[in-house]
Each structure stands twice: as C-alpha cells, then as structure tokens.
C-alpha cells in the first residue's frame, strides 16, 4: 500500500495488485492484478459509458459525446509537452496513443470531470471545456479519461 490507502475489514489485495493514493478497499472486497488480456478487463470496458459514469459521474450527450475539462498553462500549452498547444474551436489529436486499456497515464489526451479538475490544476492555469466523442475514448481509470482526440469548446477561466 502507498500514501493514505487503506485495506480494512475482510478485504484483501492479491498478487501484484497495488492500492495507492487515498483509495480504500473494505468489506468483502478483493483486488487482484489482471493483464489487459484478462476476460475481466474486457468485461469492464465493454460498457464504457457505465465505467465513465461510475468513475467521474458524467453522462454522454445525445450524440455520445462527453463534456470534460482540462487544465493547461495560461498560454494554452500542455504541462507535459511544450510543443503541444490547445486551440479553442479546434479538434486536437494526440501524437502518441497507448492502446492499453489498463494504463491510466499512457499516451493520449487526458481530461476529467469538473468535480475532479482541482486534482490536476496548477497555479495560474486556465481551464478548457472540451468535447470528447465516446469512440475516441481509450480508457477511463480513476479520475480521468484518456482519449485520442478532443474538441476544445471554450476557455472557462481567465
């Protein structure tokens, strides 16, 4: 276990599984590590809208698009790639895409719900409201979505 993570009651963590951050595993829960090819992983990602709703509390629009948020520098440059600039009204595509569903911080564009935005915001950042099509979502793990492309709708902070 790492950070403030807790495992309590009859809960158990097996194999190479790790519990970190402020995660809590309790009751009769069992956590096991599975590879991307494990059938359970496949089942979880078959219903991506449910996974996104359960993880972030957001639902798609009638056109299967999600309204998400991204924190960037005030000049609209990514915190993680100095060459990557976001532009309002434009569709932005990731240069590098990691197709592994089990990797949260792999190649792709990362967005989150408004409720989780504070976890990613730096001082003097601006917040971008973005639209992400369900078909462009690679994975949703923890508190964010990793996607291959998104459309920047507007800046919502000065």
* pLDDT value at 31 more than 70: no
Give the model's pLDDT for residue 75. 94
Q: Cβ distance 138 to 99 under 8 Å? A: yes
Least-confidence region, from 7-21, 42-56, 70-84, 86-100: 7-21
Q: Say if pTM beats, i.e. exceeds, 0.75.
A: no
Least-confidence region, from 14-28, 58-72, 115-129: 14-28
Least-confidence region, from 30-39, 45-54, 89-98: 30-39
Q: Is the dihedral of CA 33, 34, 35, 41 positive or negative?
A: negative
Q: What average pLDDT does the chain have?
A: 79
Distance CA 77, CA 10 (A): 46
């Amino acid at each position: 276990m790492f950070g403030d993570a807790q495992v309590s009651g009859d809960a158990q963590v097996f194999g190479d599984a790790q519990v970190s951050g402020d995660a809590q595993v309790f009751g009769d829960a069992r956590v096991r590590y599975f590879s991307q090819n494990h059938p359970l992983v496949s089942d979880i990602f078959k219903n991506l809208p449910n996974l996104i709703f359960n993880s972030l509390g957001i639902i798609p629009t009638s056109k299967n698009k999600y309204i998400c948020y991204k924190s960037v520098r005030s000049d609209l440059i990514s915190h993680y790639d100095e060459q990557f600039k976001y532009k309002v009204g434009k569709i932005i595509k990731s240069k590098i895409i990691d197709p592994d569903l089990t990797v949260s911080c792999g190649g792709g564009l990362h967005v989150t719900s408004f409720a989780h935005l504070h976890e990613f915001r730096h001082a003097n950042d601006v917040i971008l409201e973005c639209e992400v099509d369900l078909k462009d979502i690679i994975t949703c793990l923890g508190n964010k979505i990793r996607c291959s492309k998104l459309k920047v709708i507007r800046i919502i902070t000065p």
